Amino acid sequence: MSTPSDKKQKLEEKPKPCCVCKPEKEDRDTCLLFNGQESGKCDDMIAKYKKCMQGYGFSV
């Protein structure tokens, strides 16, 4: 069984969302800035970013 200290340690080990997937986020943001979300041109970049974030345990 996990103890409260185990849960606290797991939370401390998890990186902050702002600190991971920076290249994917930058590519996604740049694409959205110049093309807009409605264009559909950035769907692949959005999917890459979401997959990267999920790899770190974040649900986007």
Confidence of residue 4 (pLDDT cuts 50, 70, 90): low
- Those residues whose C-beta lies under 8 Å from the C-beta of residue 18, and which sit 6 or more positions away, are none
pTM of the model: 0.75
For residue range 34-58, what is the model confidence (pLDDT) as tens digits? 999 999 999 999 999 999 999 999 9
Share of the chain above pLDDT 70, in %: 80
Residue-level pLDDT at 13:
80
Residues flagged as binding site? 18-19
* Residue 17 near residue 53, CB atoms below 8 Å: yes
Domains in the chain: ranges and CATH: 20-60 (1.10.287.1130)
Residues flagged as binding site for Cu cation? 18-19
